[in-house]
Amino acid sequence: MKSIKAPVDWLLAGDPWVEYRTRIDLLGENKTKAVQASRRAILESPLVGGLLDELQQWPWKVISSHKSAGQPFHKLTFLADIGLCVEDPPVARIVKRIASSRSDEGPFALPMNIPEHFGGTGKDQSAWALCDTPLLTYALTCFGLGKDPGVRAAAGYLVGLVRDNGWPCAVSRELGSFRGPGRKEDPCPFANLAMLKLLSATDSLRDGPAAASGAEALLSAWKESRTRHPYMFYMGTDFRKLKAPFIWYDILHVLDVLSRFPSRRRDKRLLEMAGLLEGKADREGRFTVESIWTAWKDWEFGQKKEPSRWLTLLAHRILARLSA
């Protein structure tokens, strides 16, 4: 990888979550006064406060689409990504509500309604799918509950669903025969991305065979992206556009997750993806959003007119891991 210098001073002048993660992830700071001050500022931010207030309203309404960037479980994941934890009172209240949503099988559930013609029951019910519950479990783990028996049981059940070629499209028994639009024997790219994100936050699972199978599923999909599109997940023009925050299946999200696994950082396929990312930097080492999630239009990464500090931090964090 070429060495692109991160515009650290510019990043430190950004929103408190950008400053906080820059100090921790790029500068290696830990409990300095500056780190503590930026973390306090995160909790005082009206934008973050709005998310926290919204997420108090568990159980949420029936989700319409897992890809919808406004879905509460995506907002929960963002709060985990910026560094909030269960010691923060608003997070503790949210976690208490989520903890009560564990299914009989083990994974955490969400309100859903799958129409009968898609293989569901057509009724509102509490259920889970591999495109949502791994992210809920990831968020709980990042919040500091990785050793909680319920969280560990949920993660263990989900890991047990892996196959030799990665994770399939899998749902709770309440959803009947529903599955996504793909061949039953194929791995689901987003399910693998979500599961790898969970495993990346779990020390005991990060280097296991399940993680290896999931990583290979994503890297193989990249290598064969012109001819193979499992479950209609493409890795073409739209996939390669930079966007934030991490919501769905795109190059930055895939790079961020796979770069968390040291055993994969020298893989030529991963480095090829990283090369495309690197080539999008401007002369100052900044990155600009190329596709936006309208649900996040009020955030600084919700525009395409000028470089985004949060996006720039995410990009440099990936490049720093791969250059280590």
Check pLDDT > 90 for residue 121. Answer: no
Contact between 180 and 169 under an 8 Å Cβ cutoff? The reply is: yes
Q: What are phi and psi of 264, to 5 degrees?
A: -105, -5
Spatial CA neighbour of 195 closest among 212, 181, 179, 182 = 212
For the chain, the average pLDDT equals 93
Tens of pLDDT, residues 266-290: 999 999 999 999 999 999 999 999 9
Provide the pLDDT confidence category of residue 191 given band limits of 50, 70 and 90. Answer: very high
Which pLDDT value is given to residue 11? 98
Q: What percent of the chain has pLDDT over 70?
A: 97
Token pair, residue 178, equals 């529903």
Lowest mean pLDDT among 1-10, 172-181, 262-271, 295-304: 172-181
Place 228 in a pLDDT band, splitting at 50, 70 and 90.
Answer: confident
Helix 189-200 / helix 251-258 crossing angle, nearest 10 deg:
40
For the chain, which residues make up each domain, given as ranges? 62-235
pLDDT of residue 118: 63
Pair 105, 155: CB distance under 8 Å: no
pLDDT at site 2: 59
- Residue matched to tokens 């440099």: 316
